[in-house]
Every structure is written in structure tokens, then in C-alpha cells.
Structure 1
Amino acid sequence: MTPGITVEAFDPRDASAVAEVRRATVPYLVCTAESLAWEAESAPAEGRTRWLVARDAHGRIVGCADTGLLISSTEPGQGCLHIAVRPEARGRGVGRALVAEAERCLTEAGAERAWTWASDDGRSPGFAERLGYARGRRACFLGLDLARAELPPLPERLPPGVELRTAADFAGDRRPLYEADLECTADEPGDVRHGFVPYDDWLRLNWERPDIDHTLGSVVLVDGEVASYTVAQTDGAERYWSGMTGTLRAHRGRGLARLAKLDSLRRSREAGRTRAFTGNDSSNAPMLALNRALGYEQAGAEWRYSKPL
């Protein structure tokens, strides 16, 4: 163990401190103490998820990690670990201590490869590479000043057969959203390919999350069927994150994703959200173009890294 640094299991009482660490490290994401404690409690058992905190000699939480199996991966034996260290605590061995314990947990869970993200900040990639991780794809964070953005108006009249709904309208039957999400998630560009997720797991992780506001998520129907959707994740105050935007294959190229995102953004601004963020794989040209057309600008970037265990 690094002198002066101890790594231990996360306790729900640590949620506020861990959320602060995460926000200081990746300020674009929505992260609240409530949602973080919920994540730690609600992770599917088969994912063997472990949450860790790093304390300095004074007992202050200066870093955190979560690690577990990627149960939705189409390839078995894939695991992930996410590390966050307070900026002022870097260079003291905190990250190295967290990675060592996270890798031990993954190996114990049966993972054969660990996947992680490293901020494109000129420092984090080198840290990952010194620990044996190899660079993969690049992803972008985009931000929008939602309070001042000149969002285009919604169409005065939608095309025949097209309707706009909210995700909350599906509270009585969520399977149409589940089936749409399975198809769209499987087509997302990335180093890890995702496949089938059981309905009960999807409900727990994508519907019951306390930071997803279904009244602000938008769904586009075509002839009564789900064609496109966007997920609204918020901190209940100023921040909005596009958790996912997808269009089913049969309906792509018709501007439906733009319609869903625009509707969600406009309603979120009316609800008091002032800052919007989203993330895209750097190769996802259609979504990058859509977001930039709505006024999003580059806010940051990160690299995917992996390592055989």
C-alpha cells in the first residue's frame, strides 16, 4: 500500500465525498450523492461490482474507484474499472493504489481484460500506459450553455404519423423503450460490443435510476411505434446530460434523433436546467454533427484503454 494512503470498501455514508471527487475529475457528468449510493446498491449481482475509496493520512477521501464485469458485453471475461483522484492529490500514489486493488477485484471476479477511460489531459494517458494499458478509441465531451443557447424552434407541424411523447408516458408499459434501447445500444460505436440485457436489469439500471428524469426524456413515435428517443439525466438543479440518444435502424436518416433531442433540451430549459452535456465516440460523425448543429461545443475528451489481466 502507498504510504499514507489506504484503500477500503465504499460505505454509503461516503457518497457525498465520493460524488465531490467524481465531479472534480469529470465535471461534465451528472453525479449526485443520491445517484451514486443508488448505483452502488443496485448493481446486478452477476456484475460482481465493487466500489472503493482511497483515504489520505487524515482520513479524507481523495480518490475512488468502481469495478466489475461488463455483463452486457458480447465477449465474456470483460471487466471495467473507473478511477477518480482529486486534482490536488495526484502524484502521491492514490491512483496506482486504487488501480491495484481494482485489478485484484476484477481478477477475483473472473475478468480476463480490464477496460477504463483516461482523460485526454496530457497526463492521464501516460499514467495508464505506465500501468500496462493500451490505447483504444477516443471520445468527446460536448457542452451547451442551455440558458443562453439559440435553440431552433420545434416544427409547427410534425410529418404525418409522427408524434412526440415523453418517456414518462411509457410508465405503464416500458418494453417498447427497452426493445428500442437494445437495438440502438448494440449499434453504438466502441471498443466493447454490447448485446442482450435482461429486462429486469434494464429496468433497474435505466428506468429506476434516481437521476433520470423521464418527464424530460423525449420519444418519437412513427405510426404508434417507438422510432427514436433520448434519455435525460439531471442533477435536479442546473445540469443535464444526454444519457443516450438512439434511432431504430428502419427510421434513421429522417431527422428523428434531432427532433427528440431538441424537444428534450427545450423542455429541460423550461424546467430550469442551464448547462447541458453529452458524449460521443469520435467516429460517430452523424451524432457529432447533430449536436454541433444544436450549439454544443467541445468541452473535453478521453481515451479508451484496456489491459489483459
Structure 2
Amino acid sequence: MEPTASPPLPGFPDLQLLECSAADFPHLAAFLSAAHPDAPTSAEDLERLAAGRMLGETHRQLLALRGGEIVGLAETGVPRMDGHPGWLEVRIRTRSEEVGGALPGELLKLAEADAVAQGAGTLVSHVHEDWWEHDFLLARGYAEHDRMWNSTLNLQALDFTRFAGSQARVAAAGLTIQPLSELGGFGEVQQRRFYTLVATLLNDVPSTTPVSVWPFEVWQRRAGVKVLPEGVFIALAPNGEWVGLSELYLPIATRPGTLHNGLTGVLKPWRGQGIALALKLAAARAALERGFTHSRTGNHSINIPMLAVNERLGFVREGARATLRKEV
């Protein structure tokens, strides 16, 4: 990797700066994975995020190099989940030997200055609560805004017979659970119908601030093109209305055999009947049939109903991922 002509960071004459490009993704992925082995990143992950950025969208990844090796990252961009007007995300990472030194502070100044120059009034950063960045940012004016729990389910250990009564109750109410692949082709008309349900459910997800729902064209670019209809399950009312869904189709490149369990939700008038549980069970069974062994998801800490469903299924909760916020 060749550095740009940018000046070195203050106090670090041995460091050079590089504007990250797609060609650097394998090196950046290795650096990020080494920085936090409990949250590995693949080049495919970085490529997917890059492909989902819209024309003109604010984003900058600046690498700090020493002898051609990445030792730090200062990143600024539009947050995918908290994309509210005036909000920008900052992310800093360093090699372990730099933690506690001066480099993290200089990288943070760089990222924050970029964000402010782009008109940010609110800065957010997403970190695990047990990472060094958590306390580092709290000490520099950030405060916890929201938190999510990651959790994993061993699909092979799931005893479907335990839930036979719940599934029977859903069927008795006249509801059916079907894969999206059996409800017609997934052209634009069907995509818009699916998106409408997704957007309605996202608007109702319990969170500290309302989830920022992407416009259809943005959703289509970031999510719609990746939807695998046989991995999405729809709850249908007796009149054919789509009243709930569960997404379990996206493989996690850094976790072999694991699928990301995306949105699961049910429209308000149909809640309290075990539909979310039935949807997750149908999706889990299909994932097993496709050869996957685990399902991994994340839920806002105040989304008590869905956390209860996941606990009942046997999801094992991990440490929390915090959203830290700072007004500038």
C-alpha cells in the first residue's frame, strides 16, 4: 500500500496516511479482525458495505501506516441504522500495542474533524461494551445512547417438538407460514409489497430513537438485491394479508455455518398469538435443511418481547454493543 502525500499525524513522524480504496479491503479486514478477534471482518463485508453506499454519500476511511502496515483507522460515514439528519458515525481502531498511547486520540480528532466539516451535529460510534474504545469515548464526551444484544442459536440443538402447542395455536387462528419463494416471483411489485411490510415493522421496533427506515430505492440496493426468498418466511392472515415476517438467509462470511437472523416482526393487530415464534421456527427449520448450523441476531435492549422469544428458543446472549453519542 502506497501512502498519500498527506502530512503525518501530529507527533507521529513515522506514520503516513492513506485514503482507503477497494484494493485495500483485504488488508483492512485483517487489521480489523486482529483489533477485535471477537468481531471478525471479511473483505466481503467491506465490499458489501461499499456497494450499498449511495452516490455522494459521506464516507471516508483513512488508514495510518507504519512501514506499509496498518496501525490505525479513522473512519467517518453515514450510520446505517441511525441515519438521521445531521448524524454521522465515527470509528477509530488501532493495533493493540497502540491502545493507551497518543494515537487513538489523534485518530479521533481526525475523524471528528471530518464529520464536523461535513455538517454533522451529532456523532455516533458503535462499540462493544467490553472494548477499550467504549471507555475511551466515554472519557471524551460521548454518552451511551442505545445498546443491542447479540446472541447466537445452535440450530442443531433446537427441539422443535417443544413448540408444537404454539404452532398449533397459530394454525388454529387461520394463519399460515410460507417462504417468500412460494408467494410468487420477486420482481419489483413483490419487492415493494415486501418492503412495505419491512418498513412498517421497522417503524415499530422498540429503540431509543426510531429506526431510520431507508427509502425503497436505498433498501433495494442494500438489502433487496441480496434477499433469498427461500430464507424469508411470511405470516399470512386468512384473507391473504401479509402480517409478519422473519429473515434468515444471509450467511456470515466470518462465521462458517452461520446465518444472520435479520428482522422478525408481526403487525400490531396480530401480536400475542405466537406468530413471531412460529416464523422463527419455520426459518430455523429451513436453515437446517440448507446445511446451516447456527443463527445469529441482534436486538435492542428495550425490545423485551423479541428478547423473550429468542430466550425461549435458546439463543445465547453475548456482550452488549453500545451506540455512543456526542453532540458537536
In which range does the TM-score fall when normalised by the shorter chain? 0.7 to 0.9
Deviation at 1:112, TM superposition (A): 0.6
**TM-score using structure 1 length:** 0.84
Aligned residue number for residue 236 of structure 2: 221
Deviation at 1:64, TM superposition (A): 4.3
Q: Which of 197, 201, 205 is the aligned partner of 2:222? A: 205
| Worse overlay, 90-99 or 141-150 | 90-99
Per the alignment, in what secondary structure is the counterpart of residue 142 of structure 1?
A: strand
One-letter code aligned to 1:303: A
- Distance in 1 of aligned mates of 2:251 and 2:218: 21
Gaps of 5+ in 1: none
Residues 239 and 79 from structure 1, CA distance in 2 versus in 1: closer, same or farther, beyond 3 angstroms?
Answer: same
Per the alignment, in what secondary structure is the counterpart of residue 267 of structure 1?
A: helix
Question: For residues 155-234 of structure 1, what are the structure 2 equivalents within 5 Å?
Answer: 155=167, 158-159=171-172, 161-168=174-181, 169=183, 171-172=186-187, 173-195=190-212, 197-209=214-226, 213-222=228-237, 223-232=239-248, 233-234=250-251
Question: For residues 102-141 of structure 1, what are the structure 2 equivalents within 5 Å?
Answer: 102-121=111-130, 123-141=132-150
| Worse overlay, 237-246 or 84-93 | 84-93
- Distance in 1 of aligned mates of 2:273 and 2:75: 39
- Distance in 1 of aligned mates of 2:209 and 2:270: 25
Q: Deviations over 1:150-203 (max 9, x none)?
A: 345664783454222334455121112111111111122333323553211111
Residues 75 and 118 from structure 1, CA distance in 2 versus in 1: closer, same or farther, beyond 3 angstroms?
Answer: closer
Deviation at 1:137, TM superposition (A): 2.6
The percent of aligned pairs where both chains have the same amino acid is 25
One-letter code aligned to 2:89: C
Residues 276 and 23 from structure 1, CA distance in 2 versus in 1: closer, same or farther, beyond 3 angstroms?
Answer: farther
Per the alignment, in what secondary structure is the counterpart of residue 127 of structure 2?
A: strand
Give the CA RMSD over aligned residues.
Answer: 3.0
Deviation at 1:307, TM superposition (A): 0.8
- Distance in 2 of aligned mates of 1:77 and 1:272: 43
Question: For residues 266-305 of structure 1, what are the structure 2 equivalents within 5 Å?
Answer: 266-305=285-324
Aligned residue number for residue 6 of structure 2: none
Residues 74 and 42 from structure 1, CA distance in 2 versus in 1: closer, same or farther, beyond 3 angstroms?
Answer: closer
Contact conserved, 1:47 with 1:70, CA < 8 A, in 2? no
- Distance in 2 of aligned mates of 1:117 and 1:61: 21
Per the alignment, in what secondary structure is the counterpart of residue 125 of structure 1?
A: helix
Residues 234 and 79 from structure 1, CA distance in 2 versus in 1: closer, same or farther, beyond 3 angstroms?
Answer: same
Per the alignment, in what secondary structure is the counterpart of residue 203 of structure 1?
A: helix
Per the alignment, in what secondary structure is the counterpart of residue 178 of structure 1?
A: helix
The number of residue pairs the alignment matches comes to 305
One-letter code aligned to 1:190: S
Question: For residues 230-245 of structure 1, what are the structure 2 equivalents within 5 Å?
Answer: 230-232=246-248, 233-235=250-252, 237-245=256-264
Q: Deviations over 1:201-224 (max 9, x none)?
A: 111112124xx5443222222232
Contact conserved, 2:18 with 2:65, CA < 8 A, in 1? no
Gaps of 5+ in 2: 1-8
Contact conserved, 2:51 with 2:222, CA < 8 A, in 1? no
Aligned residue number for residue 58 of structure 1: 67
Whether 1:38 and 2:48 are equivalent positions in the alignment is: yes
Q: Deviations over 1:32-51 (max 9, x none)?
A: 4224213213312354233x
Whether 1:101 and 2:110 are equivalent positions in the alignment is: yes
Q: Deviations over 1:71-92 (max 9, x none)?
A: 8868521222344445565345
- Distance in 2 of aligned mates of 1:65 and 1:137: 22
Aligned residue number for residue 4 of structure 2: none
**TM-score using structure 2 length:** 0.80
- Distance in 1 of aligned mates of 2:83 and 2:31: 32
Deviation at 1:292, TM superposition (A): 0.7
Select the structure of larger CA radius of gyration. 2
Residues 167 and 124 from structure 1, CA distance in 2 versus in 1: closer, same or farther, beyond 3 angstroms?
Answer: farther
Residues 181 and 128 from structure 1, CA distance in 2 versus in 1: closer, same or farther, beyond 3 angstroms?
Answer: same
- Distance in 1 of aligned mates of 2:180 and 2:107: 38
Contact conserved, 2:84 with 2:212, CA < 8 A, in 1? no
- Distance in 1 of aligned mates of 2:322 and 2:194: 30
